Amino acid sequence: MRHTAKITTAALAAGALTLGLTACGSDKDSGSDADGPLVVAASPTPHAEILGYVKDHLAKKAGLDLEVKEFTDYVTPNTATEDGSVGANYFQNQPYLDDFNKKNGTHIVPVVTVHLEPLGLYSHKVKNADDLKSGATVAVPNDSVNEARALKLLAAHKIITLKDGVGNDATPSDIAKNPKNLTFKELEAAQTPRSLDDVDAAVVNGNYAIEADLKPAKDALVLESAKNNPYGNFLAVKEGEQDDPRVKKLARLLTSAEVKKFIQDRYDGSVIASF
């Protein structure tokens, strides 16, 4: 039986970044104690589930004492890693991390890429993206990287057209053509699947889609391609901790044949191993 501690988005609401730095309370510096367990912050699905498989089936034989802490937001795992409350995190991709480090002065670095969660467009009201009516409302994540990623997904499927040269900070103001006159509702990423009864469609991150019992490979109206995709999710640590023996062990286990098979069997194409 794996043991996890959940930290909810309520921790973020009350104090934003400052509270994020203290969200782990009495665990301060436990994650960076080389003689103790490696504490890893992770999103519940699929990250904590994958770590749970490693903990239950692979860690003991490898001599790794692994503890998993679940977070439901995209800020606290990085701030907790930065201040040493946890020793590593597993939830994010490179464009998001680059943006986060730049905006928050943090020093988080990737260790090894493990999987991709394809971003998808979902709807409770239409069964095909072409059926979206003029003036339809589409929810998108409100953090800069995932919002740009959502808009690029829609552009790749010719639902909108973005201005030339748009990068990872694209917003609806960067839309050049919007033939359906779509209205975009910007929400915290975790809220997008919950908005499906209130909007015509929503672009949802793969982990939140799975948590909402959506099956990206089957339910998405349009889905990101895995080919040459820069949004693979990785194990990350504070700069300087890459050589921690516990981190190296976990990196090796997360990219093992056993974990690849677990991902394939459990997620059936909704999560794709990237190694």
Q: Is 119 exposed, middle or buried (0-12, 13-18, 19+ CB in 10 A)?
A: buried
CA–CA separation, 269 and 54 (whole Å): 20
**Which amino acid type is present at position 146?**
N
Which range (17-26, 30-39, 148-157) has the least confidence?
A: 17-26
Strands 120-122 and 222-223: antiparallel
H helix intervals, the chain: 10-21, 49-57, 59-62, 76-82, 94-104, 144-156, 206-211, 216-219, 245-254, 257-267
110, 235 Cβ separation under 8 angstroms: yes
247, 235 Cβ separation under 8 angstroms: yes
CA–CA separation, 59 and 53 (whole Å): 9
Question: What is the pLDDT averaged over residues 17-38?
Answer: 53
Q: What is the pLDDT of residue 28?
A: 44
Residues 6+ apart with CB under 8 A from 267: 46, 210
Which range (66-70, 78-82, 271-275) has the least confidence?
A: 271-275
**Which amino acid type is present at position 32?**
S
Element (H, E) at 272: strand 272-273
- Token pair of 131, please? 């059926």
Is the predicted pLDDT of residue 14 greater than 90, yes or no? no
Q: What is the pLDDT of residue 85?
A: 98
- pTM given for the model: 0.74
DSSP 253-267: HHTSHHHHHHHHHHH
Is the predicted pLDDT of residue 20 greater than 80, yes or no? no
Q: What is the pLDDT of residue 32?
A: 55
Residues 6+ apart with CB under 8 A from 95: 145, 148, 149, 168, 230, 231
Q: What is the pLDDT of residue 33?
A: 64
Q: What is the pLDDT of residue 86?
A: 98
Q: What is the pLDDT of residue 35?
A: 75
- Token pair of 33, please? 């104690």
How far, in whole angstroms, is CA 148 from its chain's centroid?
14
Q: What is the pLDDT of residue 9?
A: 38
Question: What is the pLDDT averaged over residues 65-86?
Answer: 97
Q: Is 133 exposed, middle or buried (0-12, 13-18, 19+ CB in 10 A)?
A: exposed
Residues 6+ apart with CB under 8 A from 61: none
| CA–CA distances in Å: residue 28 to residues 21, 83, 133, 251 | 10, 8, 51, 23
Output the average pLDDT for the chain.
89
Q: What is the pLDDT of residue 31?
A: 56
The residue among 145 and 243 whose pLDDT is bigger is 243
Q: What is the pLDDT of residue 228?
A: 82
Q: What is the DSSP letter of 44?
A: I
- Token pair of 100, please? 């986060």
Residues 92-108 have pLDDT tens digits of 999 999 999 999 999 99
Residues 229-238 have pLDDT tens digits of 889 999 999 9
The residue among 225 and 62 whose pLDDT is bigger is 62
Q: What is the pLDDT of residue 135?
A: 98
Question: What is the pLDDT averaged over residues 8-33?
Answer: 41
Residues 157-206 have pLDDT tens digits of 999 999 999 988 899 999 999 999 999 999 999 999 999 999 999 999 98
